Amino acid sequence: MVDDRIDGHLDVLKDLYPHTGRGWIVGVTGNPGAGKSTLTDRLITLWRNEQKRVAVVAVDPTSPYSGGAILGDRIRMQRHFDDPGVFIRSVATRGALGGLSRSAVDIVRVLDAWGADVVIVETVGVGQDELEVTRMAHSTVVVAAPGMGDDVQAAKAGILECADVFGVNKADREGVDATVRDLELMIALGRKMIDSRGAQQRLADEHGAAAQPTTPCGGAGDEWVPPVVRCIATRNEGISQLAECLVAHRQWLTASRVGAARVQQRLGDQIRNQMRDALLDAATRDIGPLIDGAVASVASRQIDPYSACEQLVAAFRRPGR
């Protein structure tokens, strides 16, 4: 009902809302083929072993970027399909303005109400919609892989801002050191450098040299520096370290003032988005033909799009139109 926005779905969401707010929303984002689904599959296993209920929302798996990976996502996670403690849902609502993100936000709420301890949201890190979905997560891991030459690209797309943990996957491949270095350089440029060597050494002592985060899992006061964790999802290596960093991030969120501020901001964003959608729906319903007319006028250059927009807004606000 919620995904298809069938009549009555808002009532369902209203009824469910009091039951939400308990789940931990974890974003898994990154370029197509970086290994997000394989990694998610490993995280599901890890959290299921801790008796957590896990839900997965795979957003837009049919995008042209990932080339119909809906099947890929299912294959990578298929071992969990008949586990009643796991719920996996793909969302591919493209087309309608903002349709993708608003469906995804609502589906996450439904799964939160279902009692998911963790809701993992897998998105391909391209496009505004995906970034919007990522913003809804409490903790986000950005999955990078060596040799994709995409790190700078990712920074441009705003990925850096939403990364709480970097997972450098496919660490069995050549070029992993360069990818880690690039990311660390980006983090250092983007944030104040903190002296991390002490903590790094401690992690290396605890976990061995294999897959330790290259930066410490932890925030100092109001600052969180995203750790970079190497992993090999196909071999289940580095996954528990990655999960530890995510948990550390969650704890930091709870303890710091940033966490509360983020919750406020996220709610504000969601309400504003909902208002934008609702207003646009109402306008389309009330003055749909006028909008079509304005599009035609702009197309034939009789009017500029700015004035057209002003006139449409004025027409929509006119009482008793």
Cβ proximity to ligand GTP, 234 vs 256, nearer residue: 234
Q: Least separation, in Å, of the C-beta of 144 and ligand GTP?
A: 10
Residue 234 binding: pick among ligand GTP, Mg ion, none (C-beta 5-8 Å cut-off by kind): ligand GTP
Residue of this chain nearest to Mg ion (CB atom): 37
Residue 163 binding: pick among Mg ion, ligand GTP, none (C-beta 5-8 Å cut-off by kind): none
CB under 8 Å to 298, separation ≥6 — which residues?
Answer: 304, 305, 308
Q: Which of 55, 60, 73, 157 binds ligand GTP (CB under 6 A)?
A: 73
CB under 8 Å to 28, separation ≥6 — which residues?
Answer: 36, 39, 40, 43, 120, 121, 122, 123, 140, 141, 143
Contacts of ligand GTP in 105-164 (CB under 6 A): 124
Question: What are all long-range contacts of 282-286, with beta carbons under 8 Å and residues at least 24 apart?
Answer: 282/316, 283/312, 283/316, 286/316, 286/321
Angle at CA of residue 15, ends 6 and 96, nearest 5°: 30
Cβ proximity to ligand GTP, 38 vs 134, nearer residue: 38
Cβ proximity to ligand GTP, 66 vs 103, nearer residue: 66
Beta strand ranges found along the chain (DSSP E): 24-30, 54-59, 86-91, 118-124, 139-144, 165-168, 219-220, 223-224, 228-230
Cβ proximity to Mg ion, 71 vs 261, nearer residue: 71
Beta strand ranges found along 125-241 (DSSP E): 139-144, 165-168, 219-220, 223-224, 228-230
Q: Least separation, in Å, of the C-beta of 73 and Mg ion?
A: 5
Alpha-carbon gap, residue 288 to 280, rounded angstroms: 10
Select from 26-34, 91-99, 272-280, 297-305 the region that touches ligand GTP (CB under 6 A).
26-34
Query: What is the contact mask toward ligand GTP in residues 175 to 214, using x (rule: CB under 6 A)?
Result: ----------------------------------------
Residue 52 binding: pick among Mg ion, ligand GTP, none (C-beta 5-8 Å cut-off by kind): none
Query: What is the contact mask toward ligand GTP in residues 46 to 65, using x (rule: CB under 6 A)?
Result: ---------------x----
Q: Least separation, in Å, of the C-beta of 259 and ligand GTP?
A: 28
Binding site for Mg ion (CB under 5 A): 36-37, 69, 73
- Please tell me the number of Cα atoms within 13 Å of 50 on its side-chain side: 14
